[in-house]
Structure 1
Amino acid sequence: MAMRLPTRKFWLGLVRRLALYYLLILLAMTFIERWLVYPAPSADEGDWAPPHLEFEEATFTSADGTPLHGWFFKHEKARRSVLYLHGNGVHVADIGDRMPVISRHLQADVLVFDYRGYGKSGGKPIEPGVIEDGLAASAWLAERTGAPASRQVLIGRSIGAGVAVAMAERQGAGCVVAQCAFARLTDPAAKMFPWLPVRLLMRNQFPSVERIQNYHGPYFGCHGTDDTLVPFEQGEQLFRAAPTEQKEFLAYEGMGHNEPLPREYWQRLAAFLEEVGA
């Protein structure tokens, strides 16, 4: 008995159903983009009053009135002011212990703060708002220390590097320090979801490789060769795009995305900042 092959009507119906399912997936991904890009930990997690740390509570508002919160670490003989822009999976209470180390190695006053939607800051994160949050933090730091925005050292880790580059494009910086940085946020996202048109759909694109063209100050980058979240090539690409001769890039063999940087890194960064007068 001969088998009946599927009809043209069957194949058209199948294609329509698959297209509908794909469109539904695209719609769902646009709804959860904020959660994927900004997986902010709960403010209930972490120690917000660690007795072993000496810091000043910093409260200020972003351009649209969003309340922001951070910790300020004062150095008695500060040579520079540092604004630390953290990655997307932590808040201030998670990384407060690192700030005295940075302050000591760089002989710097340090402000670390939370973007909107993180920690004790209000609002919900989105690229334009997060950048405005960084600018507001820079203004607070300038008022507190007397160091103008154009002289501040911006240390950005992962998505924080994207914020740092955007800030430097708009108001300059004493130095941009990029750790585990991407060239564009859409690049690692496209690698993670190759079956989605993320470059067309994403609202949070952080095109750092284009923005860095408008910043001509010192640049100091580093990246681990085993970074599976933001590939090593991304950090290299952003470094090459920086239009300045005052730049340096450190490659760490076998290091992943979230591993702590060695002590030698901070020593080399301190020397670089002295060399460029940051």
Structure 2
Amino acid sequence: MLWVLAAVVALVAAVLGGAFAFQRRLVFLPGGGPLPAAGEVLPGGRDVALTTADGLRLAAWYFPVADARATVLVAPGNAGHRGLRAPLARALTARGLAVLLVDYRGFGGNPGAPTEAGLALDVRAAREFLVGAVGVPPERLLYLGESLGAAVAAELAVEHPPAGLVLRSPFTDLASVGARHYPFLPVRWLLRDEFATARHVARVAAPVTVVHGTADSVVPPEQSRAVAAAGRARTVEVPGADHNDPVLLDGPRLVDAIADLAP
């Protein structure tokens, strides 16, 4: 019996140790390159480089609009690359909004490895590019955070308030959504990254809108509703929509929610 108990303990330790060591490979699912030039994606698009506080140069796409109503900084979710957000940029520029599509460190061929602290530096570099290099007034800047990126955008909004903040399919915190998908693991004890969307959004002074689907199989709709309650946010629920359905990627309900916050 002692040998059996020792084997079970060793197996559990191996599983938990592996989950701890490789957790970021489960959290972050970056898409690589090569990617086309921004001008091939949308006429007038510009390939730009963002310099982070820790010295990384990150490739991004900037899509200017003449006499733009506002500029949208897009903080993406945990997967893919900026090429997948090109339809969103097309829809937003058609509404008179300039757009910056960011790829985090480790995404889209960028150097570095993603972490919560690293992503925070990446979006600050993006904001600095828009405010400093482009000259966008902070009061004409909107943030859009997608899923995991909602936590990134909300945390940025606490330090650098925008004109408005849109959170698409946000979870309350990473441990809560992780526990939904890995109920057999002590997720909250294992995670290195917190991504506490609800806690951040409660401190945001700018107007907030939460957009989510009612059939989301990745982020439970009740978590998005809890984020909205924490941020006293306007809520846009899309009936029957799952997490990655096109209607939530660049559909009219999402685009309208962003455009409605433009000053």
TM-score where L is the length of structure 1: 0.88
Q: Choose which of 80, 92, 95 in structure 1 pairs with 2:85.
A: 95
2:237 matched to which residue of 1?
A: 251
Contact 1:116 1:133 (C-alpha < 8 Å) held by counterparts: yes
Contact 2:39 2:46 (C-alpha < 8 Å) held by counterparts: no
Q: 3-state DSSP class of the match of 1:112?
A: strand
Structure 1 residues 195 and 51, CA gap change in structure 2 (3 angstroms): same
2:159 matched to which residue of 1?
A: 170
Q: Deviations along 1:149-168, whole A, 9 cap, x unmatched?
A: 46420011111111101111
Deviation of the 1:19 alpha carbon: 1.5
Unaligned runs of 5+ in 2: none
1:80 matched to which residue of 2?
A: 70
Counterpart amino acid of 1:252? V
Matches within 5 A, 1:21-32: 21-32=11-22
1:228 partnered with 2:232 = no
Counterpart amino acid of 2:19? M
Q: Distance in 2 between matches of 1:78 and 1:68?
A: 24
Q: 3-state DSSP class of the match of 2:162?
A: coil
1:43 partnered with 2:33 = yes
Q: Deviations along 1:128-176, whole A, 9 cap, x unmatched?
A: 0111100110100112432244642001111111110111122222111
Contact 1:139 1:149 (C-alpha < 8 Å) held by counterparts: no
Q: 3-state DSSP class of the match of 1:200?
A: helix
Choose 95-104 or 220-229, whichever is displaced more.
95-104
Q: Distance in 1 between matches of 2:99 and 2:109?
A: 18
Contact 1:48 1:93 (C-alpha < 8 Å) held by counterparts: no
Choose 204-213 or 64-73, whichever is displaced more.
204-213
Deviation of the 1:110 alpha carbon: 0.8
Higher RCO structure, 1 or 2 (CA under 8 Å, sep 6+): 2
Q: 3-state DSSP class of the match of 1:97?
A: helix
Q: 3-state DSSP class of the match of 1:96?
A: helix
Q: How many residues align?
A: 259
Q: Choose which of 196, 199, 202 in structure 1 pairs with 2:191.
A: 202
Contact 2:145 2:166 (C-alpha < 8 Å) held by counterparts: yes
Q: Distance in 2 between matches of 1:193 and 1:267?
A: 35
Q: Distance in 1 between matches of 2:189 and 2:20?
A: 11
Q: Distance in 1 between matches of 2:120 and 2:8?
A: 39
Matches within 5 A, 1:34-73: 34-44=24-34, 46-48=35-37, 51=40, 53-54=42-43, 55-73=45-63
Structure 1 residues 52 and 230, CA gap change in structure 2 (3 angstroms): closer
1:185 partnered with 2:181 = no
Structure 1 residues 212 and 258, CA gap change in structure 2 (3 angstroms): same
Contact 1:115 1:121 (C-alpha < 8 Å) held by counterparts: yes
Structure 1 residues 52 and 135, CA gap change in structure 2 (3 angstroms): closer
Identity %: 29
TM-score where L is the length of structure 2: 0.92
Structure 1 residues 56 and 179, CA gap change in structure 2 (3 angstroms): same
Q: 3-state DSSP class of the match of 1:82?
A: strand
Counterpart amino acid of 2:92? I
Q: Deviations along 1:12-53, whole A, 9 cap, x unmatched?
A: 332221111011101111122111111112224x54466352
Which entry has the higher C-alpha Rg, 1 or 2? Answer: 1
